[in-house]
Structure 1
């Protein structure tokens, strides 16, 4: 589905809002990632990495470069930091 969405987006250049709980998917597909917590935007991250964002056809699940991994890691780190602070 992700590859289909990327292909259609490439052909049509449309705007879409996608909702996912998968940080990796969000970073791979989006130009901007918003994390919403308690009805408010908690994080707003722009993804300024050129497309396509895949290493190769042979390994479609391995989408990223070190840059994508760093963005994904920073989002996850922020989410985990907030989870710890609410548990205390």
Structure 2
């Protein structure tokens, strides 16, 4: 992946987060909409800019930790509303 393509993906994901926030979604549902997008942005940064794509085992470990962290945050966001 080129730096330009990674940058375009990050801009697109940022626009998606902005659209979700501007759509009127509020509270825990906004977290459910925005946090997975933040996780995708984190993976792009880790794999391209930090070059973890060259170390697939380490990249998988970081992706697992990032995914668990995003799931934890989503769980905490929806917990009070239950």
Task: Say yes or no: TM over 0.5.
Answer: no
Q: TM-score range by the shorter chain?
A: 0.3 to 0.5
Q: Which is richer in helix?
A: 2
Q: TM-score, normalised by structure 1?
A: 0.41
Q: TM-score, normalised by structure 2?
A: 0.43
